[in-house]
Chain A
Amino acid sequence: MIEQQTAAVEAAPADAILIPLDELAPAITAASVSRRAFIGFGLALAGGIVGAGALAQYFPVFASAGDEVSPIVPSYNPATKAWTFVVDTSACIGCGLCVVACKEENHVPEPAEFTRTWIERHVTTTDGSLYIDSPEDGINGFPKDSTAPGAAGKPVVSAYFQPRLCMQCAEPPCVGVCPVSATYKTEDGVVLVDARRCIGCGYCVTSCPYGARYLTPAGEDTPAGTPGVADKCTWCYHRINKGQKPACVEICPVKARQFGDANDPADPIAGIVKATNPAPFHTEWGTKPRVLYLGPALEEA
């Protein structure tokens, strides 16, 4: 029984599909070319492609925009850098000089809604409420008492200043959401925006849980020289490339902001990190932030 069934199954499709060879032959002959013609055609195609490649060597049609840019700092090797930024919230006095310096150094537009760095004052009152204020991003310092709505007159239990900037996340959501691949992470871990590609859609501004991004206004002097694009703290990429510290670190009168290359034995930053054990905050957001904090900011987060 089983053998018969198998035979029937094998036989049936073979009968249905098979076309006699003499019926197919004219069609095959009509469609075929000689072997010589086939090889010749292939050679001509290959020659065309190789020829195009060879010509492109003489006429640099594939030259990229980067070829003309000579290295600014030949000694700068991003792969060797372990840039480390430490913010001590117990040291910050809220003077706002970092915000001033950042705006001047990076040509950040003046109005307070445009800023790469800012200072928040976190005030906890006796009723357990937390009030956060940052008048004008802290650029003019802070008034005596918190300007947060509802904070006036309440006795204060504890308070501190929290300087904020881009966390230069190892897994930056802003890079992931960019629809035009304008923002990216450099080899040394700094997240930059390619202003040529940016279309100013603002997705990255929304995606950043730390609120580190903003869109530059039209027609102003802007950091990248292109108005209407996303901008953010670059850890003063132009300065750290030349062996300088970021402007906010340079200006801070109380060393609340410290910066350095943890791979450089001569740089004290590795020692600071080892001695004080700073940590990033809101790691539960999963972006692997890279600015390390010290002091009350960690306890609160």
Chain B
Amino acid sequence: MKTTSRISRFWESVHPRTRRGTVLAIAAVGAGALVLSGVLFVGAAIAWSPYVDFSVNREANAKQWAALSMSFDDSSVCAKCHTPEAAKLLAAPHKNIGCQSCHGALLEHSTAAAENPQNATATVKVAVPTDAVCIRCHAQTEARPVTLKQIVPAQHYVSQCLECHNPHSGIANRPPVVQHPLDNLPYCLTCHGPQGFKARNQRHPSGELTDKECIDCHAAGRGPENSQVTP
């Protein structure tokens, strides 16, 4: 009580103009502090709230897109190790086709190969393409350019495309031509079936075949080179 009255007495003794000045000065400092804290508060709210993650930042986002990892490599790097295949391919009808079109994404393999050139295949194997890969391009389909070699899969001897066709060289193996007369002989599979005395080899389809299907390939002048498709 005593202190309060002393302060108020002191305050009353001060010149009114000085009193007003003091009040204004305190108000000014207060206002400054308020502005400062306001700016800092908003800044802190932006910085530490989750919303900063959603702010417009084109450069940051473009960099995030650019930083994504790849699966496919540039197919020209394959020739560094696979020289014979690449050399053969350059002279073949498939010369414009990149390795990954048939073999699939190979960046993982080429990365492993760059790190360990001696043992790349042990790390990441390269797939041997299945028939489906060949059929994708070479099945007869409406709208395909006529210059593309096309087959009707149902009418084509399909065991494994790669048994006869070499997609790297473009050369196809002709099946052996029947050397003996065919008149007055039983069904081909009588002798050439799995139990026959001259059994067909393992590359043939395991199911039953008609004689026509056998002759389609094994008659003279037949085979991949003269059939509807060459690789």
Contact = CB atoms under 8 A, between A and B. Distances in A.
Task: Please give me the 3 A-B residue pairs with the lowest Cβ-Cβ distance, nearest first.
Answer: A66-B60, A61-B43, A48-B32
A145 interface: yes
Given A104-B105, A141-B136, A234-B65, A62 B43 contact: yes
B8 to A, nearest CB: 23
Contacts of A65: 52-53, 55, 57, 60
Contacts of B148: 93, 254
Interface in A215-231: 223-224
B67 A238 contact: yes
B143 A142 contact: yes
A189 B189 CA distance: 65
23 contacts: A34-B17, A34-B20, A41-B24, A41-B28, A43-B28, A44-B29, A45-B32, A66-B57, A101-B105, A121-B142, A121-B143, A194-B58, A223-B68, A237-B65, A238-B65, A238-B67, A239-B72, A244-B70, A247-B72, A250-B75, A250-B98, A253-B101, A254-B96
B39 interface: yes
A133 to B, nearest CB: 10
Interface in B22-74: 24-25, 27-29, 31-36, 39-40, 43-44, 46-47, 52-74
Interface of B: 17, 20-21, 24-25, 27-29, 31-36, 39-40, 43-44, 46-47, 52-75, 94, 96-98, 100-101, 104-105, 135-137, 139-145, 148
A160 interface: yes
Contacts of A53: 39
A48 B75 contact: no
A48 B31 contact: yes
A210 interface: no
Interface stretch (A3-11, A16-24, A70-78, A282-290): A70-78
B24 A33 contact: yes
A161 interface: yes
Interface of A: 33-34, 36-37, 40-41, 43-45, 47-49, 51-53, 55-56, 59-66, 69, 71-73, 76, 78, 90-91, 93-97, 101, 104-106, 121-123, 140-146, 156, 159-161, 181, 184, 186, 192, 194, 196-197, 223-224, 234, 237-239, 241-242, 244-245, 247, 250-255
Given A76-B66, A244-B70, A192 B61 contact: yes
A66 B59 contact: yes
B138 to A, nearest CB: 9
Contacts of B145: 90-91, 93
A44 B25 CA distance: 9
B97 A244 contact: no
Given A40-B28, A66-B59, A52 B65 contact: no
B71 to A, nearest CB: 5
Contacts of B101: 97, 251-253
Contact of B62 (A59, A95, A140, A186): A186
B72 A41 contact: no
B70 A62 contact: no
Contacts of A73: 66
Contacts of B33: 48
Given A44-B28, A45-B31, A160-B143, A72 B66 contact: yes
Given A104-B72, A224-B65, 17 more contacts: A40-B24, A48-B34, A49-B36, A62-B43, A66-B63, A69-B60, A94-B143, A123-B142, A156-B142, A186-B58, A192-B61, A192-B65, A238-B66, A251-B72, A253-B97, A253-B98, A254-B148
